[in-house]
Amino acid sequence: MALSGPPGRGHADPPEPTLEGLLSVMGAGALELCVAPRGPGAVVEGVTVLDPLEPGPPPGQVLLAVGVDPESAAAVDVVRGAAAAGAVAVVFGRGGSDRLPDALRAAAESAGTALLLRTAWFGWTELVGALRAGLVLSGARADPAVAAVALGDLNGLADAVAALVGGAVTIEDVESRVLAYSSTEGDVDEVRLLTILGRKVPEWRVSAMREDGFFRMLWGTGDVVHRPAHGENPERLVVAVRAGGEVLGSIWVAAAGAPLAPHASDVLRSAARVAAAHLVHHRSHRTHARLVEDAARALLDGRGSADVLAERAGIPAHGHCAVLAVRPGASWSGDGAGKLRGLLAVRCGTYGLTSVVLPVDRGALVLLGALHRDGRRAVEQVAELGRALVRQVADAFGPGARIGLGTVVEGLADLPGSRRSADLALRALLAQEDRAVAFASEVAEAVALDQVMEALPGPAPAPDTPVARLVAFDAGQSGGVMVKTLRAYLDHFGDVPATARALGVHANSLRYRLNRLREVSGIDLRSPDARLLAHLQLRLLDRGGPGA
């Protein structure tokens, strides 16, 4: 292992960071710019947390007003004091409303200091680290192809770097988990293949690098590390991605059937500075996504706020929305929860629908917002999506997928009701073989029967009923034949030929068996009450699992 060659063009000094550049690096998930009297081009020198016991911040700072209510009189004093000290901006947390008081806006306009609000899902501790990292990143220079990659597109960044260096690229976090990798046309070595397939560097490889001090050297140096080719392992370059003194991850480049470009090290140096912005964005996005999911789950469970979900997910609080309850087939073990979630989210996106996907036991819930303004068209959107999703889920996870479609409601606050109707529809569909997706209204009879069954005791039949006698008889002698015969006879409305075909026996054999069934159980198959009771008790046995 050795540091790579002489410094090159990647060492050009970056321009001074500005408020605009800082906000660009941070993305939309952390800060909201409310007032900028001097424009967003002001140079930022640092980040300071407000301390009432200390003198004013040094000039050029972004001041974090932790614990100060923006609607209080103290907030105006903080803004005036910050402006007098030469602060570029003051950041407040959200108060009781999303609107800054007029007095605070006026004070900022008069003093020439920008005002920003911290979003609800970004904590102060996270914000301090992200802002300080952003100062390092906001002026970073890079090759135009690398700089042009949209913020957060780590796979696009890996592809751009790979094209410039002529090798295969992976971007990893500090735990050696793969965050992104480039598409590669050349030869792929075994370590890269195992790393990509496992989404993590193989543990034996990580242990070896840890033992020989590689990671200690990588995190400690600020330059590109060169690992010469050895045996079947090709030449590799690697650089740590860091910002604000914190290591965020690393970029790896492996030769893929041809030598790396002569200037590969320079490209990697500049790419590492740009990658830091992407990794900061990746962290904030993951935090945001988790909080969106928490808000959606709380709302559907009846303990959350529609306004909080609307703010976090960007879904209008008022407007048609619905919930889908998704259950893969019986062969699904639950191991592919991430794959299921990704499939559902992507498919919703291809239909142009805003969604939040929540993993639940044995499946997922899909919250759909911003549906068509026309109620009838909104219902059609949900039905079309459900039919498309059930095919996709079946293709990915095997046959037997079912999707219950929740009622289309008028706003996010009504989604718990939509979720209940989706769950009811799903339960009804799980008992059917000929239908895979439906609204509860389309399987109303099955839903109603399921509700009746829920209210009944079970699954054991009441003693001394005909079904109870048949169960006891089967347990001692016939191995389940009598209960199976009664179930088929009732399901075919007493049609002997149809029942015989379903059971695979001759009609005369069935007639003999029915006579024996009457003798053993005492059931009167001509009585509507007897048939209804038998139907219900057989369904209770089905719900109870083995033993029916």
| pLDDT tens-place string over residues 308-365 | 888 888 889 999 999 999 999 877 766 667 778 878 987 887 788 889 999 888 899 9
Q: In terms of DSSP bridges, do strands 437-439 and 402-405 run parallel, antiparallel, or are they unpaired? A: parallel
**Per-residue pLDDT at 438 exceeds 80:** yes
Phi-psi domain of 363 (left: phi exceeds 0; alpha: psi -120 through 50; beta: other): left
Q: Which string of DSSP letters, residue by residue, matches 270-320?
A: HHHHHHHHHHHHHHHHHHHHHHHHHHHHHHHTTSS-HHHHHHHH---SEEE
Only one residue has tokens 């590390």, namely 225
E strand or H helix at 439, and its extent? strand 437-439
Half-sphere exposure of 527 (CA within 13 A, CB side): 9
pTM of the predicted model over 0.85: no
- Partners of residue 31 on adjacent β-strands: 118
Percent of the chain with pLDDT over 90: 25
Mean pLDDT, range 14-26, rounded to an integer = 71
Give the range with max mean pLDDT: 105-114, 300-309, 333-342.
105-114
Measured N-to-C along each axis, helices 507-521 and 481-491 cross at an angle, to the nearest 10 degrees, of 110
Mean pLDDT, range 203-230, rounded to an integer = 88
Give the range with max mean pLDDT: 12-16, 231-235, 366-370.
366-370
Lowest mean pLDDT among 184-193, 250-259, 420-429: 184-193
